[in-house]
Amino acid sequence: MASKYFTQYWTNDQWKLETDHANRGYTALDHTAGNQFRKAGVGIGDVIFVVTVKKGQLFLGGKIVVTKLCSQSEAENLFKTDFGLYQANEHLIGSKNPDRFRPTLKVPVKIVEALYFESSDGPKPLKFKSQGVLDQQTLRGVRRLTPRSAEELSKLL
């Protein structure tokens, strides 16, 4: 079965926290947490692109290839960190050779305008507040990307 591709929106506060961790040397993007993965249909082998929006610009933190879905307690047993894990019902564990977190990678507007999400009515573009200014609500939660959109994001990494 072919992989599916998703975005997971991190709040600006979460992005800052992860940036602080990266500045202390923990740059591996080997895990993420939330409460919507199963509902969105995320499974083993799927790809999660971690994103945020700051001042209308899309930032791409990297991608995680899912190798395991687990609970908070399972994730805490896997990751013994000095800063703790994000509290959530669902945790995604990435590959043994994880991507690194890239807190400053801005996605060019031309690419953002070409991104589409899967929907029951067919592919849907991201929403903009105004010319070149992305509406962060369009990325809230976990959203499924079209394969072409995932390819465009992967090229940036």
CATH of the domain at 57: 3.10.590
How many Å apart are CA 31 and CA 65, to the nearest integer? 9
Average per-residue pLDDT in the chain?
92
How many Å apart are CA 102 and CA 154, to the nearest integer? 13
Residue 10, pLDDT score: 95
Evaluate if residue 109 carries a pLDDT over 80.
Answer: yes
For residue 15, what pLDDT band results from cuts at 50, 70 and 90?
Answer: very high
Do the beta carbons of residue 88 and residue 94 sit within 8 Å? no
Residue 149, pLDDT score: 98
Please tell me the total count of domains within the chain.
1
How many Å apart are CA 5 and CA 15, to the nearest integer? 21
- Domain coverage including residue 103: 5-156
Which carries the bigger pLDDT value, residue 76 or residue 127? 127
CA 94 to chain centroid, in Å, comes to: 12
pLDDT mean over 83-102:
86
For the chain, the straight-line distance linking the first and the last C-alpha, in angstroms and rounded, comes to 24
Residue 27, pLDDT score: 86
How many Å apart are CA 26 and CA 40, to the nearest integer? 28
Handedness of CA 23, 26, 27, 31 (dihedral sign): negative
Query: Dihedral, CA atoms, 36, 40, 43, 48, nearest 10 degrees?
Result: -80
Residue 86, pLDDT score: 81
Tens digits of per-residue pLDDT, 111-149?
Answer: 999 999 999 999 999 999 999 999 989 999 899 999 999
For residue 1, what pLDDT band results from cuts at 50, 70 and 90?
Answer: low
Residue 82, pLDDT score: 57
